[in-house]
Each structure stands twice: as structure tokens, then as C-alpha cells.
Structure 1
Amino acid sequence: MAIFRLPGVYRPQGDTHLLCEALKEAGVRGARVLDVCTGTGRVALSAALHGAARVTAVDVSWRAVMSARANALMRGVNIRVRQGDLFTPVKGERFDVITINPPYVPNLNGEPGRHGRERAWDAGPRGRATLDRVCEQAPRQLGPGGLLLMVHSALCGVETTLDALRTSGMKASVLLRHDEPFGPVMRSRADELASHGLIRHGQDREELVVIRAERA
């Protein structure tokens, strides 16, 4: 699928495609879907094209918002796109399905990215700055029986994510796993990550996981 992308917006990659696969497997026909950290809107588009009744996409970046709106217009699908941090633009609303491809690359030298394209992947020293917030906040945005689908690297701690979601009252498990070559950002940080014991020296691949969590 050809995608329009303004400079600085996260390019759809292996994690994007894995999340789209999980979304298709879950089935969203007739559902109210929220895609957070939407980037180009690729996952939101997938939801709309698979029959979701209503799709909302959110991103903190205005460039991402413009890209997602352009892609929806080019495909002729109706997607509501909002700018803002995580669930802030949809506070008080409830959804049947939430999808999210959050920043999850460890940034050992600083805080999560706050400006420019780095905020699409920089996620603090453990890579969990956004993940932990999602685990806490997402259940409040789901209706009864609602479903969360979230992709991230196993380097960030799969069990940590599962435990956090279960603590929030969700039934959580790993839905999909995929071995993926390092992208440009991970390759540039491999030596530093290895020196801190987060990966092996010479490692050039990571496992991506899609977490599935259901609200009771």
C-alpha cells in the first residue's frame, strides 16, 4: 500500500505490518477503533478497510496528523484524526479496539524524545516511558470486552508489559512474535546497548511482539 508521509513522520516498518496483521486476525467489522501514535495512519487505514464502524487516529505530531488525514482522503475512507498526547484528545470516550505502536527504543543518554522525529521512537533508558503509560491508561478507554493490541520490542520486557496490564485488570497474552533485523536507529545504538547488557555484542536482530489484552 502506497503511503504519503511528511518528513519526520515514522515510516511504516516491520512493527507496523505486524500490528496490521494482528488487527486483521482480531476482526474489527462494526467496531469503534482507536489508533494511538498513528504516524502515517497506516494501521487506522487497515481498520477502516476491514470494516470498522468508526476509526479515530491520534498522534502528538502535527506532521503525522496531516499525513494520516491525507492518506485517509486518498483512500476515500472516513477517519477522524486528532492531535494530542496518547488518550488526551479522546478523554471520556470508549472504544471496542485500541491499537498502538508506541515509541519503544531505549535512549540511554536521555529522556523520551519530545521534539522532531526522535519522539517516534525514543522511549527513555528502559524503552518503557510510553509503554508504562499505555498500560495504565488504555483500560479506561475500552468498553466492556474491549481489546488492546500493542506492538513493541522484546528488549523492553514482555513480562513487564503483561504484568502491568494484568495489574490494570486486563487479561493479557502475547498474540504474535516476529524476528526482525535492526532498523537504522537500533543499528546506530547497538554498541551502546550491548555495553549496558541490553543486547549481545554483535546482535543485529530483535524480537517484536504484539500484546493482546482484553478488558473483563
Structure 2
Amino acid sequence: MTLIALPGVYAPQEDTALLAGALLREALPPRARVLDVGTGTGALALAAAMRGAQVTAVDISRPAVWTARLNALLARTPVRVLHGDLTAPVAGRTFDLVVTNPPYVPSPAESPPRHGAARAWDAGRDGRWVLDRICREVPRLLRPGGVLLVVHSVLSGEGPTLARLRSAGLTAEVTERRCVRLGPVLRSRRSWLCSRGLLSPDGEKEELVVIRAERTP
């Protein structure tokens, strides 16, 4: 698909492609109910909708909501796009599949930004400000047998994600790995990442992981 990204909206990159591949390989029941948390351009939501799923997408960024709605309209594919903070707009609902490519980049700032494009990637000093909320909030949205697919960098810690999802009663494992070249954001804060032991001085790549977590039937 050719997707439009309005100014300030995260354009699909390697992490989106990695998660999209996992989504396409995931078995879905007929008319599956799918939730895309932090939809951005709507790329993952559209990938699910084109498989016949009933898709709801959520983003805290109004430009992202407008972008996802526009891309769904241009693709002539039904996606319900809601504005709100993570899972709040779908409280009380349950889904067969939840996909999310959340902000996960460690940042020298004490807290994530509230405005601007950086809100799509900066996630606090450990990169887990949004990831930990997903681990807390998403399990209660999964139907029995429902699945969460989440992508993030190993810089923000795959171990804590697995541990938190398992403590919430889900089975969880890393199902995809991919090494990619450092993007401009990570390159710009290389010294800080090295000082924290997250990156070696000669490191040119980061590893992305897709974690699959399932609520047992």
C-alpha cells in the first residue's frame, strides 16, 4: 500500500514491516475483532482489515487519527479510528488480536514528550513508559485464545516485557528478530546510550523483536 503520512505522523519503517509480517502469519478466526494501538498511518490496521477483520485503531495524536482515517478512505477499507490514550477508547471491549508498535526509544528526558513528532518514539529513560502500560492494560482486552503482537527494540528490554505479560497470565515468547541500522534518532543520542551501556561505541545496529503473547482458551 502507498500510505500518506501527515506532518508529525510516524511513517512506517522496519519495525512496522516486521510486525506486519507477524500479523499476516497470525491465524485469525472469521470476522476477527482486531485492535491496533498507536496506529500512526494505519498501516497495521489496514493490513488486518484487508484480511477481513473488523478493525478498531486508536492513537493519542489527532494528526495520526486523521491520517489513518484518510488512508482507510483511500484504500476503500473499513477501519474504525478513535482518538484517545492507549486502550481507554475501547474500555470494556475484547479482541481476538491486538497489535501495537508503541514508542520505545530510550530518551535522556525524564518523561516522554506530550506534543510533537517525538511522541511517536520517545518513551522515557528506559524506553518502557508506554510498553509497561501495554503490558498492564492489554491482557484484559484479550478474549480467551486472543493474541497480542508487540514490536520494540531490545534497547528497551525484551526480558521485562516477557516477564510482565507472563505475570498477567499470558504465554509470551519472542517470535521474530531483526537487526536494523541505527536511525537518525538513535545516532543523535549515541553518546548517551553508550554511557548507559545500551549501545557499544562502534555499534551501528539495533535489534528489533516481535513478542507474541496469548491468553489461554
TM-score range (shorter-chain normalised) is: over 0.9
User: 1:190 deviation in Å?
Assistant: 1.2
Q: What letter is aligned with 1:164?
A: R
- 1:66-105 to structure 2, matched below 5 A, reads 66-105=66-105
Task: Kindly tell me the number of residue pairs found equivalent between the two proteins.
Answer: 215
User: 1:112 deviation in Å?
Assistant: 1.2
Q: Which residue of 2 aligns with 1:32?
A: 33
1:198 paired with 2:202, answer no
CA offset digits 1:25-84 (Å, max 9, x no partner): 1133521000000000000010011221x1000000000000000000001010000000
CA offset digits 1:146-173 (Å, max 9, x no partner): 0000000011111111000000000000
- 1:66-215 to structure 2, matched below 5 A, reads 66-215=66-215
CA offset digits 1:183-209 (Å, max 9, x no partner): 111111112111221111121210000
Unaligned runs of 5+ in 2: none
Q: What letter is aligned with 2:6?
A: L
Give the TM-score taking structure 2 as reference length: 0.97
Identity across matched positions, percent: 54
Unaligned runs of 5+ in 1: none
Q: What is the rounded CA distance, in whole Å, between the counterparts of 2:196 and 2:179 in structure 1?
A: 22
Indicate the larger mover: 26-35 or 160-169.
Answer: 26-35
Give the TM-score taking structure 1 as reference length: 0.97
Q: What is the rounded CA distance, in whole Å, between the counterparts of 2:27 and 2:76 in structure 1?
A: 21
Contact 1:113 1:121 in 2 (8 A): no
Q: What is the rounded CA distance, in whole Å, between the counterparts of 1:47 and 1:167 in structure 2?
A: 28
Q: What letter is aligned with 1:116?
A: G
Q: Secondary structure at the match of 1:129?
A: coil
| Two-structure CA RMSD over aligned residues (Å) | 0.9
